């Protein structure tokens, strides 16, 4: 089975569905990674940070055993400035090349504008009558983005699908540590303690030790 994991920024995939990626990989699925944005000197990042970020992506890709990594290279925090049809076209090109049965993507109501723009574009690239090979679409939560959305009804993340990652939680945490600059101290949301706490909470909802939660958008069977 071919599965595509979409990150707006590197680390989204690990925060939101790292254990799920590991589980799919262990099950022998063919997994792919699409990253929409990148950092650059024009955005104020140092050469050291840029080089280190690429090294992190390479290490994370190897840890998950992705078959291929796609990078669109759009400027981080600037997706709203990209011509929308261009973004759709670039994402669509990757989806048509991979032809995944399952797509995992960011939640449309995350507080980060990049995530909002990306989710809207991705839904345009997963219409069943244009991409009939896609049988399942799931949106994952991204700690520090999903739970900080404005408290409006349309922004609520309501999980209705869960992946038991009890056997993969420690490996997920170790992969997250590769993104050393993204790790925070407790009680901030991206601390190791709170990443595990969210997985523990989601697991308790469905009677397992650790889980990742998703909003199931479409499932054809």
> Quick one: pLDDT at residue 144?
84
**Would the pLDDT of 121 be above 90?**
yes
For the domain made up of 2-219, give the CATH fold. Rossmann fold (3.40.50)
The pLDDT tens digits for 134-182 are 999 999 998 888 887 777 777 789 999 999 999 999 999 999 999 998 8
Query: pLDDT tier at 50 (50, 70, 90 boundaries)?
Result: very high
Query: pLDDT tier at 132 (50, 70, 90 boundaries)?
Result: very high
Considering the chain, what is the average pLDDT of its residues? 95
d(CA 209, CA 166): 6
> Quick one: pLDDT at residue 171?
99
Query: pLDDT tier at 36 (50, 70, 90 boundaries)?
Result: very high
Paired with 216 in beta bridges are 138
- DSSP characters for 127-190? -TTT-TT--EEEEEP-TTTSTTS-S-GGG-----EEEE-TTTHHHHHHHHTTSGGG---TTSTT
């Amino acid at each position: 089975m071919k599965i595509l994991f979409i990150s707006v920024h590197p680390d989204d995939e690990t925060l939101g569905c790292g254990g799920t990626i590991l589980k799919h990989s262990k099950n022998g699925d063919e997994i792919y990674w699409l990253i929409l944005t990148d950092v650059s000197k024009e955005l104020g990042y140092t050469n050291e940070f840029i080089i280190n970020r690429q090294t992190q992506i390479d290490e994370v890709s190897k840890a998950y055993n992705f078959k291929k990594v796609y990078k669109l290279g759009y400027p981080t925090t600037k997706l709203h400035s990209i011509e929308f049809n261009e973004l759709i076209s670039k994402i669509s090109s990757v989806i048509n090349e991979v032809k995944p049965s399952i797509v995992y993507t960011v939640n449309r109501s995350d507080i980060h504008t990049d995530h909002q723009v990306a989710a809207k574009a991705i839904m345009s690239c997963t219409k069943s009558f244009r991409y009939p090979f896609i049988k399942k679409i799931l949106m994952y939560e991204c700690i520090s983005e999903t739970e900080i959305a404005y408290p409006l009804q349309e922004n609520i993340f309501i999980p209705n699908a869960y992946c038991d990652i009890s056997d993969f939680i420690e490996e997920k945490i170790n992969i997250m540590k590769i993104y050393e600059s993204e790790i925070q101290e407790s009680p901030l949301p991206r601390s190791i303690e709170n990443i595990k706490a969210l997985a523990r909470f989601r697991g308790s909802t469905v009677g397992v030790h650790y889980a990742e939660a998703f909003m199931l958008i479409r499932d054809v069977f």
